[in-house]
Amino acid sequence: MSNEQMIAPCGVECSHCIHYLVNIDSAARKQAVQLSDILDLPIKNITCKGCQAQAGQIPLQRHLFGDSYRCPIFGCVKRREVDYCGLCDQFPCNKRHPYTENAKLLPQKAKALFRL
């Protein structure tokens, strides 16, 4: 993945995200297996190739919010034709991270993991 693809439109860096690191780091994989057990999810729903590489459809978000779910921040930057939120003339705005925006849909045990 290119350096540009390593940063999600919202600013999250794949190289610091457990869901991406599962692909390349054994310690991260072990942590993701524990998360998978806590949330009672298959590991494939914990593993991510990056927001940019997956066109805003992160496996965990798709599992939690539905197969047609696409991160609203991803869609917003594409509509505004910018690469990242920080480059938008409307920044900062009221859009929030998907886990915060959809907190009411998350299982209670997942909310603590995302600090909602």
What per-residue confidence (pLDDT) applies to 113? 46
The span from the CA of 90 to the CA of 71, in Å, is 18
Contacts of 21 (CB under 8 A, 6+ apart): 15, 28, 29
Looking at residue 40, what is its pLDDT? 86
The list of the chain residues with pLDDT below 70 reads 1-4, 96-116
pLDDT of residue 81: 94
Per-residue confidence (pLDDT) for residue 79, from 0 to 100: 92
Q: Are 29 and 44 in contact (CB under 8 A)?
A: no
CA distances from 93 to 87, 97, 103 (A): 12, 12, 19
pLDDT value of residue 106: 54
Strands of the chain, DSSP E: none
Amino acid 80: pLDDT: 92
The pLDDT mean for the chain works out to 79
